[in-house]
Amino acid sequence: MTRMPEIPWHLEFGSRPVEGGILFRTWAPRAKRLAVRISGDALFPMAREDDEVFRVLVPQQTAGLDYLYVIDDTRERPDPVSRWQPEGVHGPSRIVDPEAFAWSDNHWNGLALNDYLICELHVGTFTAAGTFAATIDKLEYLRDVGVNAVELMPVAEFPGARNWGYDGVYPYAPHSAYGGPLGLKTLVDACHRRGLAVIMDVVYNHLGPEGNYLGEFGPYFTNRYLTPWGNAINFDGPFNEGVRRYFIDNALYWLTEYHIDALRLDAIHEIFDLGTRHILQELGARFHAVARDLGRRAYLIAESDLDDVRIINPAETGHGLDAQWNDDFHHALHAILTGARQGYFTDFGRIADLQKALRDGFVYDGRYSRFRHRRHGNSSAGRPGEQFVVFSQNHDQVANASAGQRLSQLVTAQAQKLAAMVMVCAPNVPMLFMGQEFGATTPFLYFTSFIDAELAKAVSEGRKREYESFLSDQPFSDPQSFETFARSRLNWDEPHDPRHADILDFYRSLLTLRRQHPCLSNCRKDLTQVESDEAQGWMTVARADPSGCAALMLCNLGSSACHVPLPSGGQAWRLALWNGSSPPGGPAPAVEPPAVLDENLRAVALDGFGAALYVAGRCL
C-alpha cells in the first residue's frame, strides 16, 4: 500500500490535542480578555500571543470534552473554528482529535477533471435517514449508474436539523444531525474506496443569520458592500488578513483533514475584494500548492452569474480557479424544452443559445441582456471544455425556478432523455441532481428549521413575497414546515417502477458510452462541431478524438417531427443510443432512426424531442 505523503499543512486555530494537553488558539481582535471554559466548569484565562491572537495550553485535557470561549468575562460563545457542534449552533464546541480517524484511502490521489461525472445531492433528503451513514448505503447504486463524483450540498453546522446548508455558521463543523466529523470522514473514505471523488459545497460569501457570533470576535463583516444576506465578508478592509486566513484555512482544512477532492464555491459574485490580490486568487494558489504537496488532484469549482472568464483564467490573468458551473447551458436547454420565459429565462429560448453554450461556454459574452437591461459577460471561447460544469437540473433551478418541480414533472420522458443526451455529450463536465437519473417526481423545495421564532417568521414571509413575484401560479410551501422538508426526500421505490426504471437504464447506457468513448469524454471544444437550424428545430453535435473515435448526436429540439441533415464525409455511423424507446405500457415511437447511416443517406427523421447518438471510427 502506498503511503500518503506527510501532511504539509495543519490547522493552527481552534482546539487541538498536543503534547501535554489541549492547545486553544483564537483570532479575536475585538476581545479585551478571552478565556476558555471546559465542561461547563473549569475556566482558563488565555494569554495574548499578539494584538489579535489569544492562546492557552490546558494540561491534562483530552479530545471529546466540550468548551466555550468567554469574551470579556461576560459572553460565552462557541469556537469560531469549532470542529464539532454536537448541540447545535448555540451550544458548546467539542474537542476533536484530527488524527484519530483511521483512513483507508492511501491509494487515492483523485481523478482528472475531464473524467468527472458528478451527482449533486443533499444529505438530508437523499435518503430517508438523511445522514452521512445512510448516504454510504447508496454509493454502490451511484457507481452502478455511472457516477464517479459525489457533490455534497453544504454540510457545515446550521440552525436546527433541516436546511439546504447555505445558512451555515460554523464552516469547520460537519452538521451534527448528519453524523458530525466521524460520519463525514467515514463517508469520504467509503467514496474513495469505491473510486468516487467527493466535492464539498462551501459558502465563503456570507454566514447564516442565527448562531453567527463571528462579529463578536473580530471584524469578519463589512458594510462597505451589501449582499442578499446583509453585510459582506470583510476581505479587503481593516483586519482583513485574519478574515482571509479564516476562509483560506477552511478550504485547506477540507482538503487535508477530510481528504475532499474539490470545493464548489457558492455564489462568488457576492464575494467583494478590491485589494491588490483578490481573495479567490490567493485561495486558489494556496489550495493548489497544498494539493501538489499531497500528490493529489484537487479542484476549485465556482458558482458565478458574472459570465466573467477571469474567474477561470490562469492566475497570471485571472483568479486561477479550475472550473465553474455554467448556468447559461441550463437556461438555454430548459427554455427550449419547457417554454419558460419568466425571470432570467427571458434571454433564452433559441437553439442558437444552446449551440453557443456547447461551442463556447458562456452565452453572455458582452451581448445585451433583456433581463438585466444591460450588456453582460465576456467570451469564454478560448477556455477548455472541462472548465464548465453543465447540468439540466440542480438544487437552485428545481426549487427556485420551477417551484420545486423537477424536469420529470415539466416534460415527457423522451424530452428528459433528450436533455440527458445533450448534457452528457457536451464537451464539458456533466452533473446530475439526485434522482434525475430515474426521473424522480418528488419535489425539491426550499426548507429551513430556524430556532429563533421571529427569524423563522421573517424567512417564511420573505420567501413567500419572493416566490409570488416569480412563480405566482404555483402553491407556496412554507420553508419552516416539516412537511416541506419531508416532501423533498427522494422516493427510493420509484427506481423499481417500470416507467422510472426505463429512464434509469437510459442514464446507465448514456454514462457508459461517455466513459467508453474518448470522443465523448475528452472535453475538447476544438474537436466539437455544432450545427443547428432555428426554423426546422434541429441541432447536431459532432465529437472527435485524436484516437480516431468519433460520435454524432442528432437532436430534434421541437415538438413536431423533422428531418435532421447529416454531415458530409461518408463515415460509417452505427446507432449507439436513441431516446425514442418507451417503457412498458408507453406509446410506441412513430419514427425509429436507422441502425446504420450509409453514405447515400442525407438526413434522419426524428420524432418531436427525439435524439439519436451514433459512433464511428475506432468507437466501432
Report the distance separating Cα 77 and Cα 213, nearest Å: 7
303 is known as an active-site residue: yes
Q: Which residues contact 372 (CB under 8 A, 6 or more apart)?
A: none
Q: Rounded distance, CA 568 to CA 570, Å?
A: 6
Pairing relationship of beta strands 299-302 and 262-265 according to DSSP bridges: parallel
- Is 266 annotated as catalytic? yes
Cell representation of residue 488: 423533498
| Grid coordinates given for 326 | 455554467
CA 118 to chain centre: 9
Look at residues 263, 297, 293 and name the one whose alpha carbon lies nearest to residue 280. 263
- Find out whether 486 and 246 touch, Cβ atoms under 8 Å: no
Amino acid at 184: L
The C-alpha atoms of residue 536 and residue 539 are separated, in whole angstroms, by 9
Nearest to 288, CA basis, from 278, 279, 301, 297: 297
H-run or E-run covering 20 = none
Distances (CA, A) of 612 to 46, 286, 359, 557, 617: 68, 45, 20, 12, 17
Is residue 196 within 8 Å of 139, Cβ to Cβ? yes
Helix 413-424 to helix 498-516 angle (10° resolution) is 20
Catalytic: which of 79, 201, 303, 386? 303
Options 66, 151, 266, 273, the catalytic residue: 266
**What is the CA 544 to chain-centroid distance, rounded?**
28
Count of CB atoms within 10 A of residue 351's CB?
A: 21
Long-range contacts of 179-184 (CB under 8 A, 24+ apart): 179/131, 179/132, 179/133, 180/84, 180/86, 181/83, 181/84, 181/96, 181/101, 182/101, 183/131, 183/132, 183/133, 184/132, 184/155, 184/258
Joined grid coordinates for residue 519: 470522443
CB 409 within 8 A of CB 474: no
Active-site positions read 266, 303
